[in-house]
Amino acid sequence: MSACGCDGNNLRPVDQAIAELLARAPTPPPVERVALGQALGRVLAEPLHAPFEVPAWDNSAMDGYALRAADLPAAGGCLPLAGRIAAGDAAAQALPAGHAVRIFTGAPLPAGADSVVMQEQCRLEEGRVWLPPVTGGEHVRRRGEELTAGTPVLSVGQRLRPQELGLLASFGIDRVAVYRRLRVGLLSSGNELREPGEALQPGQIYNANRYSLAAVLSSLGLEVHDYAIMADELAASRDALSLAASEWDMLITSGGVSVGEEDHLKQAIRELGELHLWRLAIQPGKPLAFGEVGGKPWLGLPGNPAAALITALVVARPFLLRAQGCLDVMPQALRLSAGFAWRKANSRRQYLRARLEARDGQLRVCLHPQQGSAMLTSACWADGLALVEVGQTLEEGDLLDYLPFSALLH
């Protein structure tokens, strides 16, 4: 049982809060081996070294004709053909002196050959082929030119993308060691919330956060369990949190962390565990909290839908990826020109819903006119977030950081 160590009147800078969350990230989940086809987005738990050279033999980079460059006159000329080698064939016979051989992309080079000429530059003439001048080594993939055996290829903590899966497959690996998916319990707080499909009574709204946050968590490769809506009561909050903490690796809630009389989550957290952090210098999303329940990490996101979405992407995402075992967790911002003026400095860092538009031949960051913390239509219009730092003002054309959703939703 603990009180929050932060003064409620002092707002924690965003970068400082993220650093504190990362420092408190739990150890990754246990390791399991999964089929390669099921490994997309999973976090690698064992390093990979190249088990053999890549390519494993000299081979042709294209369809054409293989030859020994020294056998061709300097001005080009004709050579008799000595067969053909397709991909999958073995180059069992050495290339006879003064001959060429028909060869296809990926096929092994026969002993003695050192060059390939693409077929578009050649001309067949009754069992012979005319070839243009050749420089030795053209269009040949040399054995080991990409990787030598034992070269480090993939590191622990990498998330596996399609290109990593292809590389693993190229080594003949059919199962890969990854961390088990982080198991997250997702809870929504609010007596006003109803589920889509239900009839609304006066004062009630539909639970948007349940679906947007579950989708964010799923995009990060996490396993999500969605609980029923928690009533805005201390006992109900305490019981729901206690149950979820006994069943899952981590808890995430939306709503109930503001300063209102009906927001009971913080008190429930204090009674069940610890409250480490509350209120950030971020707009939207100031009432974000972090703590522990029964030894399990807890993130309390704001209740307003746009604020919940943005804090999930900006603050929660790095922490969740680190808890999943991922090492590279911070998105790379793009430095681009503002397509707007921002003349009112703010005491919190602002994440504005924006998208890129071409203006006068230049790509600019343009804002949606509605930036309210409850407004999801602007997030649907946007393709990223424009960052305006604490105390900063902007004129149109000034540079600013821009975070595309494509860098945040994975």
What average pLDDT does the segment 213-235 reach? 91
Query: In the chain, what percentage of residues exceed pLDDT 70?
Result: 96
For residue 10, the model assigns a pLDDT of 80
Rounded distance, CA 289 to CA 6, Å? 11
66 contacts 100 by C-beta, under 8 angstroms = yes
Verify that 366 and 317 share a domain, yes or no. no
Q: Are 249 and 298 in contact (CB under 8 A)?
A: no
Within 8 A by CB and 6+ apart from 35, the residues are 174, 175
Task: Please indicate, yes or no, if residue 379 is contained in any of the structural domains.
Answer: yes
In angstroms, the Cα distances linking 124 to 81, 118, 127 are 10, 13, 7
Would 302 be classed as within a structural domain?
A: yes
CATH number of the domain at 195, please. 3.40.980.10
Work out whether the CA dihedral 387, 392, 393, 394 comes out positive or negative. negative
**189 vs 151, more confident:** 151
Q: How many domains does the chain have?
A: 4
Signed CA dihedral, 375, 378, 379, 381: sign only: positive
Residue 131: what pLDDT? 96
What percent of the chain is modeled with pLDDT above 90? 84
Inform me whether the pLDDT recorded for 360 exceeds 90: no
Domain presence at residue 153: yes
- Which residues, including other chains, have CB under 8 Å from residue 34's CB and lie 6 or more apart? 42, 175, 176, 178
**Does residue 300 share a domain with residue 186?**
yes
C-alpha to C-alpha distance for 393 and 102, rounded to whole angstroms:
66
Domain boundaries, position 215? 14-29+181-323
Q: Give the SS3 label for residue 376.
A: coil
118 half-sphere exposure, CB direction, 13 A CA radius? 5
Rounded to whole angstroms, how far apart are CA atoms 203 and 357?
A: 38
Residue 313 backbone phi and psi in degrees, to 5:
-80, -35
Task: Give yes or no: residues 23 and 47 share one domain.
Answer: no
Q: Is residue 69 part of a domain?
A: yes
Using one digit for the tens of pLDDT, what is the confidence trace for 27-82? 999 999 999 999 999 999 999 999 999 999 999 999 999 999 999 998 999 999 99
Residue ending a domain, choose from 294, 323, 352: 323
Same domain? For 161 and 239 the reply is: no
pLDDT on residue 340: 96
Do the beta carbons of residue 128 and residue 77 sit within 8 Å? no
Q: How far apart are the C-alpha atoms of 160 and 358, rounded to whole Å?
A: 33
Q: Is 48 exposed, middle or buried (0-12, 13-18, 19+ CB in 10 A)?
A: buried
